[in-house]
Structure formats: C-alpha cells, structure tokens
Amino acid sequence: MNQPDATADTTNGAPPIPSGVGNLRRFIDVARGRRRPLVHLQHNPDPDALGSGAAVQYLLKRLMGVDSILAYTGRVGRVENRAMLRYLKIEIMPSFKIDYDEHDLIIVVDTHPGSGTCRLPMGVVPDVVVDHHPAQPDALQGVAFPYFDPDFGSTSTMVGALFVANGIEAPVRIATALTYGIRTDTMDLARGGTAEDEAIYREMYAVADKQVLARIERARVPQQYFIVLERGLRHALVTDNALTTYLGEIAHSDAVAEIADLLFRLEGMKWIIVAGHTGPIMYCSIRATQAKDVRAGEVARTISDGKGGGHDTFAAAQIPMEPGVEPDAFYEDLRKRFLKEVGAKQTLTRPLTIPPDTEVPRVHERATGAARASTASREDEEQADEPLPA
Ligand SMILES: [Mn+2]
C-alpha cells in the first residue's frame, strides 16, 4: 500500500478547507443546552461510521462538556472493525437497549433517514445528520442541521474538517479513528476521494498512532474467514467480464464486501457481485470499474427491487427473502438478474477455479465443525495484543 508520507508538509499545496468553520457553528447552535445527546450510527457500522461517531462524541464533550452515547444496530462483524473498537477504546451500545425519548439531541452519522442503513426507531427525527451518502431529496426533512455532502469520500473527512478548519486538535485516539475511517471508505484515497479528503487525511495521519493502525489492519481472523473465502472461490463464475459468487450462510454481512474487494482484482473484470445470506436476509456487494454509464448503485437498486443502492463503482443490497424461499435458488435468480442488468453474455461462463459442484474432500467438513467450536473462544483471545506485522 502506498500511504502518503506523514512527514510531508501538510500546508503547502493542500487546498483550503471551505466548509468547516460555518458548519461547526451550526452544529454548536443546535447542540447548545442539550444534556443527553445520542449519536446513532449506520447499521452494521463500518470504520467510517465508528470513526466519525467517536469524533462527534469527542467534540460534544470538548465543546459542550456533555457525555453522549454511541448507538448502533446490526453488528460489528469484521475483525478489523472489532480491533478498532478495542484499540481505540470506542464504546458502542446496541440501539434496542436505549430509550430514544430520553435523549434530547439525536445525531445520525454516516447514514440518513430513509436509507436502508439507517435503523432509527419509528418516528424518531434526528436533529443532526452527518453523511456523505447520496440521498433522496426528502431524506433530510425536519433535520435542524443536515451536514450533508455526497462529494466527500467519507463521513470521517467531514467530521475531521470540523477539527481542522477550527483549529481543534484531535487527540491521537480520534485522529487514528478518523484516519482509518477515511482510509477504508476511500480505499486509501483511491476511490471517491477528493482533494479535501486528502487534506484532512494528511492532518489526521500526522497525529495518528501508526502502530495501532497496523494492528487494526492486520487483525487476526478466525478460521471461519478462510472457510467462507474457500466457498467464495469455489462458487465463483466468470461470465464475460463479470465475476459472480455465492458464500452461502455467512456469520456477518461484511463478508460479502470483503470477498468482493478481494476477487475483484481478477484481471479483465468490469463487474462483480458477491452474495451470502444471514438467515432470511440476502446480502450482496457489487463492484464496478469506473467508466461512462457504469452505475453500480442503480444496478444494486434494480436487482433488489429497491432494497439496495450505492455509488457508481461500489454498491450493496440487503434483500429480505420470503419464508420458504430456498436461499441457493434465490441467489441463482439474483445472479441472472445481475448478469442481464450489466449486459454480460451468459454463454461465456467458466468457473474461476474449479467447477462449483466439485466434491469437497471429507477433511473439509471436519474442519468446518472444528471452526464452529473454536469461534466461541475467539472473544477471549481478542484481549491479547495482535502481533505487529514484521
Ligand atoms: Mn461512509
């Protein structure tokens, strides 16, 4: 990975930060006098949601002297994200344990009302929304301060701008969290990042704890990770310039994005879809190469009948399956719709590695059982420090 040089001059050549000053003033105007703020994160919070949420929490404490709660729905699945919580001491609380009526300031971070990734309790209208995801025009109705801008590569950039533009120093913990948030949402500033993302990233990276960043990025994975990866490889089909694969039952929804990013490195591919289900919910992740007329977000929305969306080059969907529907058959149908939508010639299909119906040796099944038994003990092991990369 080619990270920007931390020792590089951070002012020369960096563009001015236009928006941070006025936005912090508006944020303070709305937050003033509120004693029990709640920061509601994106469903299945990713590093951008966790980083920007922790930074908003820090601003509330530093500027207004109030403690706030970080609330989440779904789960934190990826080991990197769990390592981030642990090393950066970010505490989050499941939304169902919280009475939203007891809070006098609701701030939604890295998502917005009406989006599939915003699981606010019914009837709750947030006071503040901080988000960079494209939204329908009516999504921010009734929100006192919508700090909203789809031009940004990450929400962490937007919150980071509040620090930088107002001369507020971010402590190491927060700078590290925002660095990781920007990094993961923009694929190291290669995807959807702007000059401003880069400028804020440099400011935060200069302060960030590089050892902790390395520990988060190289967090140990449970055996289950490789079992799911193997399934992804075995079911992978190359159809024309599109790659499709199915992970079957997955423990957490992040697995589809993880495998999609990995397999999309296959040369010659223009599109990829990776799907897997958790109970009755089919998750899928779509990636596309940047090109004119390539709209991954629209493809996700179309094939999921409105249960998905996203950006031009990366998108996702969460589709509830009707009771009694066979997930494998559901995936087959989804795959066909995807291929039709992206115009891939179905006659040009070959397996990526081995044919998907190849018999799997028995030793594999035993390994699967062992993995299930051993994942339970992972939580305790996580207390141990992750090894640093050599
Ligand atoms: Mn984000």
Q: How far is the centre of ligand 1, averaged over its atoms, from the C-alpha of 160 (Å)? A: 13
Residues 62 and 156 in one domain: yes
13 confidence band (pLDDT: 50, 70, 90): very low
List the shell of residues around ion ligand 1, using CB closer than 5 Å: 48, 110, 155, 185
Among the candidates 164, 192, 217, a domain finishes at 217
Q: How far is the centre of ligand 1, averaged over its atoms, from the C-alpha of 129 (Å)? A: 13
Lowest mean pLDDT among 181-195, 217-231, 288-302: 181-195
Residues 151 and 262 in one domain: no
Q: How far is the centre of ligand 1, averaged over its atoms, from the C-alpha of 115 (Å)? A: 13
What whole-number distance in Å separates Cα of residue 306 and Cα of residue 165? 38
Residues 207 and 59 in one domain: yes
Q: How far is the centre of ligand 1, averaged over its atoms, from the C-alpha of 315 (Å)? A: 12
The pair phi, psi for residue 26, each rounded to 5°, is: -65, -40
Kindly report the pTM of this predicted structure. Answer: 0.79
Among the candidates 183, 217, 251, a domain finishes at 217
Number of domains into which the chain is organized: 2
Average pLDDT over every residue of 96-108: 97
Predicted pLDDT of residue 309: 86
**Which has more confidence, 260 or 4?**
260
Average pLDDT over every residue of 381-390: 51
Q: Which two tokens stand for residue 51?
A: 């980083």
Residues 106 and 48 in one domain: yes
- Please say if the pLDDT value at position 240 is more than 60: yes
Identify residue 303 by its one-letter amino acid code. I
Residues 119 and 261 in one domain: no
Residues 173 and 283 in one domain: no
- Which percentage of the chain shows pLDDT scores above 90? 74
Residues 66 and 212 in one domain: yes
Is residue 165 included in any domain, yes or no? yes
What whole-number distance in Å separates Cα of residue 200 and Cα of residue 179? 9
Q: How far is the centre of ligand 1, averaged over its atoms, from the C-alpha of 234 (Å)? A: 31
Q: How far is the centre of ligand 1, averaged over its atoms, from the C-alpha of 390 (Å)? A: 30
Q: How far is the centre of ligand 1, averaged over its atoms, from the C-alpha of 314 (Å)? A: 12
- Please say if the pLDDT value at position 383 is more than 60: no
Is residue 383 included in any domain, yes or no? no
**Which has more confidence, 311 or 109?**
109
Q: How far is the centre of ligand 1, averaged over its atoms, from the C-alpha of 132 (Å)? A: 6
- Which range has the top average pLDDT, 85-94, 138-147, 190-199? 85-94
Q: Strands 349-351 and 69-72: what pairing?
A: unpaired
**R_g (Cα) of the chain, nearest Å:** 21
134 confidence band (pLDDT: 50, 70, 90): confident
Q: How far is the centre of ligand 1, averaged over its atoms, from the C-alpha of 93 (Å)? A: 19
Average pLDDT over every residue of 301-307: 93
Is residue 329 included in any domain, yes or no? yes
281, 317 in Cβ contact below 8 A? Answer: no
Q: How far is the centre of ligand 1, averaged over its atoms, from the C-alpha of 145 (Å)? A: 18
Per residue, what are the HEC states of the chain?
CCCCCCCCCCCCCCCCCCCHHHHHHHHHHHHCCCCCEEEEECCCCCHHHHHHHHHHHHHHHHHHCCCCEEEECCCCCCHHHHHHHHHCCCCCEEHHHCCHHHCCEEEEECCCCCCCCCCCCCCCCCCEEEECCCCCHHHHCCCCEEEECCCCCCHHHHHHHHHHHCCCCCCHHHHHHHHHHHHHHCCCCCCCCCHHHHHHHHHHHHHCCHHHHHHHHCCCCCHHHHHHHHHHHHCCEEECCEEEEEEEECCCCHHHHHHHHHHCCCCCCCEEEEEEEECCEEEEEEEECCCCCCCHHHHHHHHCCCCEEECCCEEEEEEECCCCCCHHHHHHHHHHHHHHHHCCCCCCEEECCCCCCCCCCHHHHHHHHHHHHHHCCHHHHCCCCCCCCC
Residues 146 and 242 in one domain: no
Predicted pLDDT of residue 354: 80
Is residue 388 included in any domain, yes or no? no
Is residue 2 included in any domain, yes or no? no
Q: How far is the centre of ligand 1, averaged over its atoms, from the C-alpha of 154 (Å)? A: 5
Q: How far is the centre of ligand 1, averaged over its atoms, from the C-alpha of 267 (Å)? A: 27
Residues 302 and 208 in one domain: no
Structural domain harbouring 163: 20-217
Predicted pLDDT of residue 191: 79
Sorted by sequence, the CB contacts under 8 Å of residue 264 that are 6+ apart come out as 243, 272, 287
Average pLDDT over every residue of 89-99: 98
Residues 120 and 49 in one domain: yes
Q: Which two tokens stand for residue 346?
A: 């179905």
- Give residue-wise pLDDT tens across range 17-39: 446 678 999 999 999 999 999 99
Q: How far is the centre of ligand 1, averaged over its atoms, from the C-alpha of 190 (Å)? A: 14
Q: How far is the centre of ligand 1, averaged over its atoms, from the C-alpha of 110 (Å)? A: 5
Is residue 10 included in any domain, yes or no? no
- For residue 136, what is the domain's CATH number? 3.90.1640.10
- Give residue-wise pLDDT tens across range 147-171: 999 899 999 999 999 999 999 999 9
Q: How far is the centre of ligand 1, averaged over its atoms, from the C-alpha of 50 (Å)? A: 10
Average pLDDT across the chain, whole number: 88
Is residue 294 included in any domain, yes or no? yes
16 confidence band (pLDDT: 50, 70, 90): very low
What whole-number distance in Å separates Cα of residue 99 and Cα of residue 70? 13
Residues 74 and 106 in one domain: yes
Q: How far is the centre of ligand 1, averaged over its atoms, from the C-alpha of 364 (Å)? A: 37
Is residue 205 included in any domain, yes or no? yes
Predicted pLDDT of residue 77: 87
- Please say if the pLDDT value at position 192 is more than 80: no
- Give residue-wise pLDDT tens across range 359-378: 766 554 444 444 444 444 44
- For residue 327, what is the domain's CATH number? 3.10.310.30
Residues 77 and 181 in one domain: yes
381 confidence band (pLDDT: 50, 70, 90): very low
